Chain A
């Protein structure tokens, strides 16, 4: 299985500041078709996860442009510019190159 390892945030994050969450995969997620199958989700307290970013850098429909995804084959970053109250929750990275696996999650708390 591909192991996904997420970094921690220096919580709490001051409102209006930017935050970056890192994610590393044990195997390159770059497919031969040129797509990198790395996705990001946000699970707000008491809610189901919601898709934020797919294929490493494509924002899902309706997602704020304050969220952006970047990376290489094995190292990825989700950046949140100007953190707001609605961004609080746990962020998960997930690979879909092979059978899906998730990172352990990174909690974002607001100051």
Chain B
């Protein structure tokens, strides 16, 4: 069974940093591209970042470019999102999602990030 379990969220002050993790199991992690997608409270879905299976290709939404860094450790079956210079508008539930041939086929349960003083 495919499982994606996010961790690392919490309450953080504006301007500070936070690192999210997503532990994958139930599939060969190194064969798939992975993504972070977020959902602000009561709002819709926003794609944040994507990384290819071997980390050769990395893409970011304009709203986080230069502040967030997506990475992965295939030996540990883990996806990461390093978030710096956090803003109130980054407050959201952050989902880890696998992508397969241009669709997101599995999603984690999400981890909440709240940016507030």
Binding site for B on A (CB under 8 A): 35, 37, 39, 41, 43, 48-51, 54-55, 60, 92, 94, 96, 99-105
Contact = CB atoms under 8 A, between A and B. Distances in A.
B103 A55 contact: yes
Interface string B74-97: 000000000000000000000100
Interface of B: 35, 44-47, 50, 59, 61, 95, 99, 101-105, 107-110
A101 B109 CA distance: 20
Given A37-B102, A92-B45, A96-B102, A50 B107 contact: yes
Contact of A102 (B44, B50, B99, B101): B44
Contact of A92 (B44, B61, B95): B44
Given A92-B45, A99-B47, A102-B47, A48 B95 contact: yes
28 contacts: A35-B102, A39-B102, A39-B104, A48-B107, A48-B108, A49-B45, A49-B95, A51-B103, A54-B101, A54-B102, A54-B103, A55-B103, A60-B105, A92-B44, A92-B45, A94-B45, A94-B104, A96-B102, A96-B103, A99-B59, A99-B61, A100-B50, A100-B104, A101-B47, A102-B46, A103-B44, A104-B44, A105-B44
A48 B102 CA distance: 18
A105 B43 CA distance: 9
Contacts of B47: 99-102
A29 to B, nearest CB: 10
B82 to A, nearest CB: 20
Contacts of A60: 103, 105
